[in-house]
Structure 1
């Protein structure tokens, strides 16, 4: 990897941490230069704007979280276990989130809502990808006979993602992991109600 590629990656990684903790709007180019030790001219050699850095930073943060989710998914053999992974990855969100600052999708979605169409579109793509992955897991659970045949796959995916993101938001705001953990218990109990009869 060339020196230029290394510099670009460093800017993206450090900016991802900054934006995910402090927020995009609250972060300045000066914050990025301070974190990376790279002057503004050096940053502009790699990126045309702060928006461009933000898009790449979000993709980077999302890829870190996605990697951790997929690692955990590979260890599960049931659809129930796989759906619970999405919450369990954030079980210690206050002290040890899968990416510093919490959930990149949640953070970007709340910050970019109607304010920045480019960032909002990236958050929307992240939402679609997460829901699609959850729907594939649920569909496989229906196919294998783990879940009831008439289960509304879309509704369950929306429900699971909503209680995941809601639990993360509450736990981060409250400084207490109990909200995510309570939602893990609640989703576990709900999934028992949609399990196919043995």
Structure 2
């Protein structure tokens, strides 16, 4: 890997952590300079603007989240077990967030909903990926006879994402894993009793 590429990746990783803790608006270029040890020109050699760096940092953070889900969902034979594993990935955020500062999808969604349409679209794309993952699992489970045929895949996907991301937010604000534990237990029970067929 060329030195310039290594530097760019280091800047992106360190900026992602800063943005996730202090927000995109709350992080100044001087903060990124301090974290990376680069002068302003060194940062702008790799990025045309702070906005371009913010997008690259979000993409980096989103990939860390994707990796966490890929590991968490791997190896389950029954589709319901895989859906419950999806919940468990969120539950793990209390002790092991994918990035310092908590869930970068939630943090970016809250900050960018009205102020940064490009970041908002990036967040929406990740949420759409989650929705599609759950919809596909439900459809696969119905086809295998593991999930009740009347289950509305999109409704379940929205319920899971809204509940677990809400619990992530509460856990962070209240500084306790209890909201995540309660949300996980409630949804896992519901899925086992109302979604699972066999």
TM-score, normalised by the number of residues in structure 1: 0.95
Partner of 2:102: 102
Instruction: Output the CA distance in 1 between the equivalents of 2:33 and 2:86.
Output: 34
Alignment partners' CA distance in 2, 1:8 and 1:46: 6
- 1:193 maps to which residue? 194
- 2:80, 2:196 within 8 Å by CA — same for their partners in 1? no
C-alpha contact (below 8 Å) 1:148/1:194 kept by paired residues: yes
Alpha-carbon distance, 1:13 to partner: 0.3
Give per-residue Cα distances to partners, 1:12-40, cap 9 Å, x unaligned: 00011111111111111111111111110
Alignment correspondent of 1:70 = 70
**Which secondary structure state, in structure 2, belongs to the residue aligned with residue 93 of structure 1?**
helix
Report the Cα offset of residue 91 of structure 1. 2.4
**Any stretches of 5+ residues in structure 2 without a counterpart?**
none
**8 A Cα contact 1:167 1:179, kept in partner:** yes
**2:38 is the alignment partner of 1:41:** no
- Given that 1:87 and 1:180 are in contact with CA atoms closer than 8 Å, whether structure 2 keeps it comes out as no
Structure 1 runs of 4+ with >4 Å offset: none
Matches within 5 A, 1:1-198: 1-191=1-191, 192-196=193-197, 198=198
CA displacement at 1:66 relative to structure 2: 0.9
User: What is the aligned length?
Assistant: 197
Residues 16 and 58 of structure 1 are in contact (CA less than 8 Å); yes or no, is this contact kept in structure 2? yes
Aligned-residue CA RMSD (Å): 1.3
**Whole-angstrom distance in 2 between the partners of 1:30 and 1:85:** 40
Cα offsets for 1:74-120 (capped at 9, x unmatched): 13222222222233123243442122211111111110011111111
